[in-house]
Amino acid sequence: MIDFFLLFFLVISAIFAVTTRDILSSVIVLGSYSLVMAVLWTRFNSVDVAFTEAAVGAGITTFLLIAALSRTLRIEEEPEIRESVFPLFQRLKNLLPLFVVLATGAVLVYSTLDMPSFGDPKAPANLHVAPYYIEKSVPETGVVNFVTAILASYRGYDTLGEVTVIFTAGICVILLIRRRKR
């Protein structure tokens, strides 16, 4: 039941964040979206993801977006509406994205019917490498939290790459935005 309310809140805040013209409130709503998402991850027993979502999504991203917003305008401009020569054609053109979204959504919902139920131990994703990590990660690495064991040890190269990406982002910001003393 609580999952239903949380998901409902997610959809509402996502719609609000997209439709509002006030970018500052959109950013703040996205922060609360991430917080609810973190609660949902916790309910799915993936606490490491929840922790990252709360720290990065609800925390630092909001800060960074507001900081970026302080350099630009807060209110989005009204889109320019042009009068078309063929009103009917224009109306059909406006409806086309709705059809595309509905069709894509229908295909996605149809494909979820074939998916294994949540947390099914017989699901293909849980039969491939997951049993190896669950059984071997503690004796092989000595780390009790096997999410950390996978990230730091088995997938060490990926983590090194991720840190390099973050480092590169920081260097780019320094090179592009920092004002040098002349």
Partner 1 sequence: MKELIIIRVVARLMIPFIQLFALYVIAHGELGPGGGFQGGVILGASFILHVLAFGLEESRRRLSEKVTDLLNPAGLLLFAGIGLICLIGGGMYLEYDRLPVTANPILASQLGIYGIEIGVGITVAAIMVTLFFEMAHRHDD
Residues in contact with partner 1 by the rule CB under 8 A: 47-48, 50-52, 55-56, 59-60, 63-64, 67-68, 70-71, 139-145, 147-149, 151-153, 156-157, 159-160, 162-164, 166-167, 169-171, 173-174, 177-178
Decide whether 71 or 128 has the Cβ nearer to partner 1. 71
- Phi, psi of 181, deg, nearest 5: -75, 130
Shortest Cβ 76–partner 1 spacing (Å): 18
Instruction: Output the six-digit token pair for 138.
Output: 């503690």
Which residues face 75 on adjacent strands? 22
Shortest Cβ 171–partner 1 spacing (Å): 7
Coil, helix or strand at residue 121: coil
Those residues with Cβ within 8 angstroms of residue 126's Cβ, 6 or more apart along the chain or in another chain: 120
Shortest Cβ 158–partner 1 spacing (Å): 11
Instruction: Output the six-digit token pair for 49.
Output: 């993801």
Instruction: Output the six-digit token pair for 36.
Output: 């609810």
